[in-house]
Structure 1
Amino acid sequence: MWSSEQLDLDAYLARLGYEGDRKPTLETLRALQRAHVLTMRWGNYDSFLHREVPIDLPSVQDKLVRRGGGGYCYEHTVLFAAALEKLGFSFTAVSGRVQLGADSTTPRPTTHAMLIVDVDGTRWLDDIGFGASPLEPIELVDGALSEAGPWPYLLRWQDITHGSPGWAVHQRADATESGEGSEGPEGWTVRQVFTETPQYPVDYAMGNHFVATHPRSPFVSRPFIQRLRTDRYDTLDALTWTTHRPAGPPESETVEPHEVPALLADVFGIPSDPDEAELLVSRLRELPGSLDA
């Protein structure tokens, strides 16, 4: 179903630096998720540049594995799904609603792709496409906690959209937030919600079309680039570069459009050829607040 026959598994695992066991075990799943999240790059610049964002496996494999580019959740998830399928894992694809900045009475569309993997009768949430993703699978049980990375995550079964039951992934509330509307336990805020309704490649194609092309999609109006490491988390949101660390407040600065290609290469590990860099700088100069001439 996930075109694993078209996947160059050796090339994918080499890109991750993974040399471990290839049996469909929990140990393998954990190692693959950690390697994928820390190695594969995350970015939405193709949609910002009004370019097509195909999520067929050959296109995604070429972009993320061979060229080292950045992609968002649909691209990461179809690649990871193909790898798991080829390795013999059993899983179900699902879609979630990103909740940050919203509440359950004003739901956003289901445009976040994830996998639920079954290993020896136990189900695990694999969310490898969020950018700042958990570094390990989270067991699909109420109250499951992930503390494998620099930031913890909590999974709860609770009322989600319009009071319907479902799963909610919580992250620690930012120290600058009041906590209002977080709809989570004290000290936590809801990051995304989802149900277990199975999704298929055609469903992801529909969601991806909205994310990549709809004028109300935030990915069309501004670039958002992320990189998670074990000691820091960097984002570029439009022209604001922010570095978060596990301890202490985030550090932010405004960058100018002509500085962005070098920033992407040096900080985020995303290369761009001269033509792509020129187009990116041109689009960035159209953003409100840009002072680059």
Structure 2
Amino acid sequence: MSEAGNDGRGWSGDRLDLDAYLARIGYEGERTPTLGVLRALQRAHVTSIPFENGNAVLGKPVALDLETVQDRLVRGSRGGYCYEHVVLFASALERLGFAFTGLIGRVTLRNPKILPATHALIAVRPADDDRLWLCDVGFGSGPLEPIEIADGVEVDFDGWQYRVERRDGVLGIDEWWLHQRGEDGWLDRHTFTLLPQYPIDYAVGSHFVSTHSRSPFTARLFTQKFSATHHHRLDGATWTTFRPDGSSTERKIEPAELERVLAEEFEIVVEKDELVQLEQGLASA
């Protein structure tokens, strides 16, 4: 579980502008390491800070030091992908006194191929609860609250449904699977183990995701905004809105619409020079 210090295991919670972060996500509750606070923090975080890969598409570095992440996700009108979200959320958990560890997941989405383990997650044990809870704050489509890491657990958060499954892994190492219910039933979202991960591990994974030619995040813009009532996703020029009942709507946007859609629907404001490059990317897709 988390411990501060200079040995690489800490999450820089002492350098977090906690007041600014809590204001950014609209959280005004208690600041104690309890399950109730954890639930409220995750709901506030995932519904306030969008998911986006703008820097990777633009060929800009995606730094994971806390100061850079705060400038972008807290002080700026931007979002981030899973590593940025988890670094920020973990620093807040550390500052508030939670016991936790970073984890790494492997996105599946019914893909028969083994994909790289590049999804950041957190396992948390609150001070007032003996159970272990999964905080998946950086996927872009919830969940709204933590989910207990226990085989067969099913949850419903305002109509958004998720399920946890344990499977026997290689050499007896448990594999944990998170499923999400959609229009076509249960979809396996990602799998993970409980092997602890640290900031340096995320730096390695993030470098691949943000720079490798085979990474989908370097090829096209991908943004998401999630709430209790809808999930907006912009994948290239395809804007899809999902709802808890499984229904969805989809349409293509024109490059000239990008600035408005990002600002009004995803709460993302990009610099003019960046906007021009992103518009050109949509036009050439």
| TM more than 0.5 | yes
Question: What's the counterpart of residue 284 of structure 1?
Answer: 282
Distance change >3 Å, CA 113–CA 149, structure 1 → 2: farther
Matches within 5 A, 1:10-49: 10-49=19-58
CA distance in 1, matches of 2:123, 2:187: 22
Answering whether residue 99 of structure 2 is matched by residue 87 of structure 1, we say no
Q: CA deviation at 1:55?
A: 0.9
SS in 1 for 2:47: helix
**Long gaps (5+) in structure 2:** 1-9
Q: For 1:54, which of 30, 53, 63 is the aligned residue?
A: 63
Question: 1-side partners of 2:161 and 2:224: how far apart?
Answer: 18
Amino acid at match of 2:214: R
1:124 lines up with 2:133 in the alignment: yes
The alpha-carbon distance between structure 1 residues 94 and 126, as it changes in their structure 2 partners (threshold 3 A), is same
**Bigger relative contact order (CA 8 A; separation at least 6):** 2
Distance in 1 of aligned mates of 2:208 and 2:169: 22
Match of 2:6 in 1: none
Q: Distance in 1 between matches of 2:209 and 2:201?
A: 13
CA distance in 1: counterparts of 2:236 and 2:101, whole angstroms: 34
Query: Shift in Å at residue 58 of structure 1?
Result: 0.4
By how many angstroms is 1:286 displaced?
2.5
Deviation at 1:285, TM superposition (A): 2.4
| Counterpart check, 1:225 vs 2:262 | no
Deviation at 1:250, TM superposition (A): 1.5
Match of residue 120 from structure 2: 113
Q: What is the rounded CA distance, in whole Å, between the counterparts of 1:9 and 1:81 in structure 2?
A: 12
The percentage of counterpart residues that share the same residue type is 49
Contact 1:94–1:199 (CA<8 Å) still a contact in 2?
yes
When residues 243 and 80 of structure 1 are mapped into structure 2, their CA distance, relative to the original with a 3 A threshold, is same
In the alignment, what sits opposite 1:181? none
Q: Which amino acid in structure 2 is aligned with residue 31 of structure 1? A: A
Q: How many residues align?
A: 274
CA deviation profile, 1:189-214 (whole Å, cap 9, x unmatched): 21100000110111000000010000
1:95-106 aligned at under 5 Å gives the runs 95-103=104-112, 106=113
Match in the other structure for 2:5:
none
Q: 3-state DSSP class of the match of 2:179? A: strand
Trace 1:234-253 onto structure 2 (pairs within 5 A). Answer: 234-247=232-245, 249-253=247-251
Q: Residues 228-254 of structure 1, C-alpha deviation per residue, up to 9 Å, x if partnerless?
A: 121111111111011112236321111
Q: TM-score w.r.t. structure 2 length?
A: 0.92
Q: How far 1:159 sits from its partner (Å)?
A: 4.1
Partner Cα distance (2:40, 2:233) in 1: 24
Aligned-residue offset at 1:50: 1.0
Contact 2:183 2:246 in 1 (8 A): no
Letter aligned with residue 270 of structure 1: I
CA, structure 1 residues 252+273, in 2 after alignment: closer, same or farther (shift >3 Å)? same
* Alignment-derived partner of residue 197 in structure 1: 195
- The 5 A counterparts of 1:57-76 are 57-76=66-85
Stretches of 4+ aligned residues off by more than 2 angstroms: 159-165, 246-249, 282-286
Q: Which residue of structure 2 lines up, in the alignment, with residue 134 of structure 1?
A: 143
The residue type paired with residue 257 of structure 1 is P
TM-aligned CA deviation for residue 164 of structure 1? 6.2
Q: 1:20 to 1:51 in 2, by over 3 A?
A: same
Alignment partners' CA distance in 2, 1:284 and 1:164: 43
The structural deviation recorded for 1:34 is 0.3
Label 1:276 to 1:216 Cα distance change in 2 as closer, same or farther (>3 A): same
SS for the counterpart of 1:70 is coil
- What's the C-alpha RMSD, in Å, of the aligned pairs? 1.6
Letter in 2 for 1:72: Y
CA contact (8 A) 2:110 2:187 kept: no
Note if contact 1:160-1:167 (Cα within 8 Å) is conserved in structure 2.
Answer: no
- Tell me if structure 2 keeps the 8 A contact 1:134–1:146: no
Aligned counterpart, 1:9: 18
Q: What do the CA deviations read for 1:85-114 (whole angstroms, capped 9, x no partner)? A: 0000000110000001413xx211110000
